[in-house]
Amino acid sequence: MSKDFILPDIGEGIVECEIVEWLVAEGDSVKEDQPICDVMTDKALVQIPAVHDGVISKLYYAKGDIAKVHAPLFAMDVDGEAPSQSVETAEDAPVKPTSQTSTSGTQLEDFILPDIGEGIVECEIVEWLVSEGDEIIEDQAVCDVMTDKALVQIPAKYTGKVEKLYYKKGDIAAVHSPLFQMSIAGQSAEPDVSSAVVKAQSNAANKPAEKTAPKVEKQLNKKAVASPAVRRKARELDVDLTQVPGSGKNGRIYKQDIEDFLNQAPSQAVSQDTTPKASSSTSVGGSRVEPIKGIKAAMAKQMVASVSTIPHFTFCDEIDLTKLIAMRSELKGQYKQQGVKLTMMPFFIKALSLAIKQFPVLNSQVNDDCSELTYFDDHNIGMAVDSKIGLLVPNIKSCQSKSIVDVANEVTRLTEAARDGRVSPDDLKGGTISISNIGAIGGTIATPIINKPEVAIVALGKLQHLPRFDAQGNVISAAIMQVSWSGDHRVIDGGTIARFNNLWKSYLEDPAKMMMAMS
């Protein structure tokens, strides 16, 4: 079977490269990892290896041509798979390999699923928002896909008509492979493309759909919008999702919605075509197995990588927030009229950024063998959000150049997006230090795990009104919050994090000092 090799990401921000030298020719037999060609980006010379054993059937570019990232680079017959019947007729195909031509003379284009998050190689098709034959416009939402980090909406790149969906709802789609095909409005076929090439490329276009079998989920309806974890819970409880009112955006259903539905109308929630099951209250010695996947699996891997490679140490302190709470109370109503939701978090974030200016090592990253330390000018401060699809840590970019109001607006935007499961990949990338607000749920002291490759994280405890002594020795009520730092002991010593915390604490305990530092 002839397979296209999709040119992968070859550097941050690289979208194209020049073919410097082909190291093989059409008809050559190659082995896995054998160099196929040298390409030149605007940063470096990169060698592209083969990913399978087989025979090169087509080189889509000539030496000196400009190749596009995420587009086919060459095709090969993979060893052990039946050879394609259309390879010979496809030899005369035009250089633009992702374009095809229909028999009606319309230019067809495959939409290649782009990178949708750092380290993401595949995703599940949660919902198609269009059907084959639908007319769509540029930037219109085409489908929802679920990665192991978030629910992502894929938009159309052009205006035109959907010709083919390569995957069905529930299928796993691979990054850098065709997701759907469309005819682009205003484009017609190239006059020299033969019908044999059309047939060959149409056969090739059907391959992604042949490789994946649709998953059968009987109780699901196309109008039931829910994540894979929620649908799995519905299957376990024999709940028909089409009967469950969703509390999320566009009626999206969460686990809590299923529980509420069961509590309110259990007789309606149980599927009528299944055998009644024994009450869980009478079950003895039973067990169930639930796969760890999606965001939970990603978090598990990240946490294991962090604690197994980073020597953590924890530093705890308490902060008196009495003055800051009073100032926020005075400003809250004023900014609410302007549409600004002024919580405590923007002050924590901005004070952290101000302290980083004097302790830049807290905003650094160390390489794997601990031989280099990279300092970042931008303070991209992440905040852990306990969303309904799992723990997400979006970050606010360039906090050092934002006002508290700017930070507040970003906190609101990212929190709402995270709780709805729709944080963009860019918002999840590039964090340099993190805040975990565990106190919003409960608890005072924690031992947070560093969000590798960052070097520090702070956990905020719950706010408590406790007795303390004032300067005159009188007992007063103070708004106290415990904070717990974890630092990478390879690059941060105890004295450094203590002094850094003292500065951060001083900004929070004396808001006037923080305002002066911002000027």
Residue position matching structure tokens 């939409």: 111
Name the more confident of 438 and 196.
438
Instruction: Say how far apart CA 515 and CA 519 lie, in whole Å.
Output: 7
Region 452-470 average pLDDT: 96
Name the more confident of 17 and 316.
316
Question: What pLDDT does 216 receive?
Answer: 32
Q: How far apart are the first and last CA of the chain?
A: 65
* pLDDT exceeds 90 at position 483: yes
Name the more confident of 113 and 380.
380
Candidates 9, 312, 489, 510; catalytic one: 489
Instruction: Say how far apart CA 112 and CA 230 lie, in whole Å.
Output: 28
Q: Where is average pLDDT lowest: 415-424, 433-442, 448-457, 507-516? A: 415-424
* Amino acid letter for position 173: A
70 among known catalytic residues: no
Instruction: Say how far apart CA 32 and CA 70 lie, in whole Å.
Output: 20
- Residues sharing a CB contact under 8 Å with residue 146, sequence separation 6 or more, in sequence order: 123, 124, 126, 152, 227, 228, 294
Question: What pLDDT does 330 receive?
Answer: 93
Beta strands in 11-121 (DSSP E): 16-22, 29-30, 35-40, 45-49, 54-59, 66-68, 72-78, 99-101, 106-112
406 among known catalytic residues: no
- In Å, the largest CA–CA distance within the chain is 93
Beta strands in 410-451 (DSSP E): 433-436
Determine the 3-state secondary structure of 310 from DSSP. coil
Q: Where is average pLDDT lowest: 66-80, 349-363, 467-481? A: 66-80
- Starting from the edge strand earliest in sequence, which strands make up the sheet with 141-146, in order? 151-155, 141-146, 122-128, 172-174
Highest mean pLDDT of the ranges 50-64, 152-166, 204-218, 403-417:
403-417
* Residue 417 and residue 424 in contact, taking contact as beta carbons nearer than 8 Å: yes
List pLDDT tens digits, range 287-325: 988 877 666 777 888 899 999 999 999 999 999 999 999
* Residue 69 confidence class, pLDDT cut points 50, 70, 90: confident
Region 228-255 average pLDDT: 75
Instruction: Say how far apart CA 181 and CA 178 lie, in whole Å.
Output: 8
Q: What angle do CA 309, 311, 317 make, to 5 degrees?
A: 140
Question: What pLDDT does 188 receive?
Answer: 52
Measured CA distances, 365 to 134, 169, 182, 492 (Å): 47, 40, 43, 11
Question: What pLDDT does 106 receive?
Answer: 67
Region 58-68 average pLDDT: 90
Determine the 3-state secondary structure of 511 from DSSP. helix
Question: What pLDDT does 187 receive?
Answer: 63
How much of the chain, in percent, has pLDDT values that exceed 90?
44
* Residue 155 confidence class, pLDDT cut points 50, 70, 90: confident
Per the omega criterion (within 30 degrees of 0), is the bond before 453 cis?
yes
Instruction: Say how far apart CA 454 and CA 130 lie, in whole Å.
Output: 40
* Whole-prediction pTM: 0.54
Region 234-260 average pLDDT: 78
Region 64-92 average pLDDT: 69
Highest mean pLDDT of the ranges 268-272, 349-353, 422-426:
349-353
List pLDDT tens digits, range 86-113: 333 333 333 334 556 555 556 788 898 8
Candidates 65, 139, 426, 493; catalytic one: 493
